[in-house]
Amino acid sequence: MNLAAATNENLAHTSNVLVYSSMAVYTLAFFAHIAEWVFGSRSKVGRTAAALTGADAPAKIQVQVAQKGGATAVLDRPKIITRSASGSRDVPDGPGAAGGTFKGDLYGRIAVSMTVLAFLVQTGGVVARAMSVQRAPWGNMYEFSITFSTVAVAAYLILMVLKKNVRWMGLLLVTTVLLDLGIATTVLYTSSDQLVPALHSYWLWIHVSTAIICGAVFYIGAVGTLLYLFRDSYENKLANGTEPGSFAQSVLSRLPAAATLDKFSYRVNAAVFPLWTFTIIAGAIWAGDAWGRYWGWDPKEVWSFITWVAYACYLHARATAGWKGRKAAYLALIAFGCWLFNYYGVNIFVTGKHSYAGV
């Protein structure tokens, strides 16, 4: 074995170690987020937040804190902004997973710190994989998966840096990343190898990287949409005078208002849709260079187009037909389902020109 081959093998091993290490740190973040939700559920603030309004709530809330001598500490009331849900009701945003408690917030901060550390370790694993094969690290489903989850976490952290209130999705995000990495390392793993000649093109960097970014951001939008449906059901029960269950009172009351989640999902999907359009165009140009035709109705091409149509219908319905709320949410989830099938279903179960990269 020559020196270059040995170096590449060592880099591939390093990549595997870093990916597994990131999974261990993500697991710590997962338990920290669990603790954040648990301690937040014990808070008086968490139990009463759904009843608060921006106009009627007191500026501060007295909360008994277990300290020496049983002293009383004063917590600033969580910032709750009242939203209007399509003219039907005014509902305040929940106080977040921590429920306004010191201990819940502490574990939430620990969870975010662990997520940042895991992200850095995972990024190192992706870079090491790229160095071991000396190409873009997304030539097969394993590489695509580890890169996809890295970009999804990056999108979440960027929103955090921009001071967006998104820590409520931390538990779902970390859980999804662990599932993604678990499937990648056990089912989809492929040893480092060079690609077939058709993939040796600068378009691999352009086309596939934009597809990964779009998928990661679409995932963020899908999380917001899914939680919107749960929160909307909770608010409907309150509006109809029905007593929500203990899970809804403990968990759903701490989420942002349904209207907030609906708006968040729409803005995320609308922002990334032009990039998905570019992804399809870039793929067509690459197909022209590699296969001598821009469009051949290959299964991957077909489902990429179906995904584009689904998201276009969602955005068009919101912009022209005035669809908001649950109908739009169902469309958004169908569109993301198309994206998921385009990745997993087409790659695993359907044979086409995109099958040569292997699982």
Task: Quote the distance between the C-alpha of residue 303 and its chain's center.
Answer: 21
DSSP 175-220: HHHHHHHHHHHHTS-----PPPGGG-STHIIIIIHHHHHHHHHHHH
- Is the per-residue pLDDT at 129 higher than 70? yes
* Mean pLDDT computed over 125-154: 91
196 falls in which pLDDT band (50, 70, 90)?
low
The lowest-confidence range among 4-13, 158-167, 174-183, 276-285 is: 4-13
* pLDDT higher at 355 or 83: 355
194 falls in which pLDDT band (50, 70, 90)?
low
- Is the per-residue pLDDT at 77 higher than 60? no
Cα–Cα distance, 25 to 37 (Å, whole number): 19
Residue 161 in tokens: 């840096």
* Mean pLDDT computed over 308-336: 89
* Mean pLDDT computed over 52-65: 37
The lowest-confidence range among 87-91, 120-124, 264-268, 292-296 is: 87-91
* Mean pLDDT computed over 122-139: 90
* pLDDT higher at 293 or 312: 312
* Mean pLDDT computed over 47-74: 39
Cβ atoms of 335 and 303 within 8 Å: the answer is: no
* Mean pLDDT computed over 58-63: 35
Task: Quote the distance between the C-alpha of residue 170 and its chain's center.
Answer: 9
